[in-house]
């Protein structure tokens, strides 16, 4: 996913209402037909629309100003002015709309399809509304009310059933590719994954979404490496998978380090159901190291798998489906 963006600031303006019209009916044989000015149209709204096929906020970074149309003015013969067109802002599921000053969440668009954020101004009334028994020829009409302008902070938290966390080069991208056929970048060097990516696995009537989070290093919770930038995307996952590279010499210390970094991030991430998965089971000595990992982590769900030979993948998937089906969906920040 090139050009990934997960937060930006945008300026928004709803449309002003159109003015009412001052007009008098003038027809043959009706020289004093009375006022017939029509009402102005409503200004357009600013509407956030959730699009499941949108995965990034890059389009909002490229266009930072969104303005709805103004309503048209009323016309004679009591013709109503046209309403201004709404401006639609497409965003991915899981988008948060925040106040740019206080950081307060104004709306969480995780479970919504459409939200009217700013309403357009009302159209003004034409002079036909102001005729009375003592005022037969009102020569005034209402102006439309103005629209509303503001700036908001838009932030994306990815929504997934299973979030994969691990040290760089632990095999997260390879696992997502093996399970879901997602087109992820895979390479034998650290930080191959530079942006979070999603993969969807359909198995019978069940569907499970995996999130590949860029590798965590020591100090990620304080901003080292890519950790702080993307740890927030784990906040909405139901289940965490700690992927441990069984080919590394420090495989026993990896789980403790990952726990330490997640503990330092808000959201009680360590309270989520989790699986400890030993990767690269096809390499020499890996099965023995997997058993050693199981002995070192009593009480944890420990599974072994190989992306290359696909050994252990079915059992791992069964466990993911079981936990994701029973885990409660976490709330966003």
Q: What is the pLDDT of residues 46-99, one digit of tens each?
A: 999 998 878 788 889 889 999 999 999 999 999 999 999 999 999 988 899 999
3-state SS of 205-244? CEEEEEEECCCCCCCHHHCCCCHHHHHHHHCCCCEEEEEE
pLDDT at residue 222, rounded to an integer: 43
CATH code, residues 162-326: 3.40.50.300
Domain ranges of the chain: 1-156, 162-326
Total length of the chain: 333
- Asked if 132 contacts 111 with a C-beta cutoff of 8 angstroms, the reply is no
- Asked if 22 contacts 62 with a C-beta cutoff of 8 angstroms, the reply is no
Q: CA-CA distance, 207 to 283, in Å (whole number)?
A: 30
Element holding 288 (H helix, E strand): helix 286-296
pLDDT at residue 327, rounded to an integer: 60
For 1-156, which CATH class? mainly beta
pLDDT at residue 193, rounded to an integer: 44
Question: Each residue of 128-150: pLDDT tens digit?
Answer: 999 998 888 899 999 999 999 99
Q: Note down pLDDT in tens along the chain; length 333 residues.
A: 445 677 899 999 999 999 999 999 888 777 778 899 999 999 999 999 998 878 788 889 889 999 999 999 999 999 999 999 999 999 988 899 999 999 999 999 987 789 999 999 999 999 999 999 888 889 999 999 999 999 999 998 877 789 888 887 778 878 888 887 654 444 444 434 446 677 778 777 677 888 887 766 544 344 444 445 567 777 778 899 999 999 888 889 989 888 887 887 766 788 889 999 999 999 999 999 999 999 999 999 999 999 889 999 999 988 988 888 776 656 544
- Residue 68, phi-psi category: left (phi > 0), alpha (psi -120 to 50), beta (remainder): beta
| CA max distance for the chain | 104
Q: CA-CA distance, 251 to 258, in Å (whole number)?
A: 11
Structure-token match 């993911």, residue found = 320
* CA angle, residues 1, 5, 150, in degrees to nearest 5: 150
* Beta bridge mates, 221: none
**φ, ψ dihedrals at 200, nearest 5°:** -115, 125
């Amino acid at each position: 996913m090139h050009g990934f963006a997960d937060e930006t600031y945008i300026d928004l303006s709803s449309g002003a209402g159109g003015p009412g019209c001052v007009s008098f009916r003038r027809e043959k044989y009706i020289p004093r037909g009375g006022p017939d000015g029509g009402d102005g149209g409503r200004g357009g709204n600013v509407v956030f629309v959730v699009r499941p096929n949108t995965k990034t906020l890059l389009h909002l970074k490229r266009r930072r100003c969104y303005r709805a149309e103004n309503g048209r003015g009323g016309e004679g013969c009591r013709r109503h002015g046209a309403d201004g067109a709404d401006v639609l802002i497409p965003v991915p599921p899981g988008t948060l709309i925040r106040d740019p000053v206080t950081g307060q969440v104004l709306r969480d668009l995780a479970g919504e399809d459409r939200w009217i954020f700013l309403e357009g101004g009302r159209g003004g009334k034409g002079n036909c509304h102001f005729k009375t028994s003592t005022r037969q020829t009102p020569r005034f009409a209402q102006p439309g009310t103005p629209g509303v302008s503001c700036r908001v902070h838009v932030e994306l938290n990815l929504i997934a059933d299973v979030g994969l966390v691990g040290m760089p080069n632990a095999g997260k991208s390879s696992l997502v590719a093996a399970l879901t056929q997602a087109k992820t970048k895979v390479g034998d060097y650290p930080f191959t994954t530079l942006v979070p990516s999603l993969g969807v696995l359909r198995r019978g009537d069940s569907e499970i979404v995996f999130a590949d989070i860029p590798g965590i290093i020591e100090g990620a919770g304080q901003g080292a490496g890519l950790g702080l930038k993307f740890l927030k995307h784990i906040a909405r996952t139901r289940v965490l998978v700690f992927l441990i590279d069984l080919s590394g010499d420090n495989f026993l210390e990896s789980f403790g380090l990952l726990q330490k970094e997640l503990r330092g991030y808000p959201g009680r991430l360590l309270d989520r159901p989790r699986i400890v998965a030993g990767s690269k089971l096809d390499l020499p000595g890996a099965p023995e190291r997997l058993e050693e990992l199981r002995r070192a982590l009593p009480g944890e769900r420990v599974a072994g798998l190989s992306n290359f030979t696909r050994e252990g993948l079915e059992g791992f998937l069964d466990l993911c489906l079981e936990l994701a089906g029973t885990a409660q969906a976490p709330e966003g920040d």
